[in-house]
Amino acid sequence: MVGSRAVGRAGDSRSGNGVAAGPTGLSRRRFLERIGAAAVLAQLPAFLARQGWLEAALATETDLTRDTLNGLVAFVVPGPDDYSKAQGQSSNQPGGIQAGTTPALVELLDRFVGTAQGPTLPSSNGVAALLNSLALEVNPAAANGQFLSPFARLAFADKIEVFHRLEPMTEGTELRFVSGILIGAVGFLAYGESGVIDPVTRRLKATPVGWKISHYAGIAEGRRELKGYWQGRRSVHTSKRYAVHRSHGK
């Protein structure tokens, strides 16, 4: 990790439209708005009520919600954390948990509170209830285990099955889009800067995990490999195999 001063100078995290991508008021919000997530997530309470899961969602505690979303984050971007190891898919490199994705995901989801039908429900609780209810259908043994959340207790293949079952359940509704929203949002946040950006200065406090695992060197005024000719060459020429051969008389 590098110091905040060094990263801060070169790491002013801004999106292409000049909007800072921080943990409060980001292009993250615009990201969900652009893909229609606000309207979709607003329908979660009614959907959960039809499945008989709304009461559980309303009773969901913050710790259970975060534990569930930790399981989701590890599913999308595995790392060396306990959630990744428990699902049977982990990595020696830092992953979504180390990137601070879960708090950012909770904040992102809860910007959109479902009120279309039924009582007000934070979207993070609704998503957690949805994943946990399906997890118990996929594997009833997930009712007990080392984590608070049934979804977090699932093996990687069972988590895939949760999303397979979610698709036909939501067929013909706007919620058909929710699985893509969840996976896309986790990937977006895990490879972004939300875990290390200072909300006041809008500058990075450390090197983002996403930069490390994608081998992104950060903001720069040009790259060495793009300056001058490749591998120290002093000039360029067209290879004979690409030369244009003209017939006689033309």
How many angstroms separate the CA atoms of 149 and 153, rounded?
A: 7
Among candidate residues 178, 221, 176, 212, the one with its CA nearest the CA of residue 193: 212
Does residue 240 come out as left (phi exceeding 0), alpha (psi in the -120 to 50 range) or beta? alpha
pLDDT given for residue 117 in this prediction: 46
User: With 80 as the cut, is the pLDDT of residue 72 above it?
Assistant: yes
- Mean pLDDT across the stretch 35-52? 60
Q: Which residues share a beta bridge with 121?
A: 114
Q: Which of 192, 190, 31, 43 is nearest to 127 (CA)?
A: 43
Q: Are 166 and 129 in contact (CB under 8 A)?
A: no
Helix then strand count (H, E) for the chain reads: 13, 0
- Region 202-216: mean pLDDT is 89
Q: Which residue is listed with tokens 């720069």?
A: 220
Q: Which residue has the higher pLDDT, 228 or 15?
A: 228
What is the distance between the alpha carbons of residues 236 and 226, in angstroms, rounded to a whole number? Answer: 15
pLDDT at 191: 92
Token output for 62: 């913050």
Q: pTM to 2 decimals?
A: 0.68
Residue 59's pLDDT is what? Answer: 62
The residue extents of the domains of the chain are 4-213
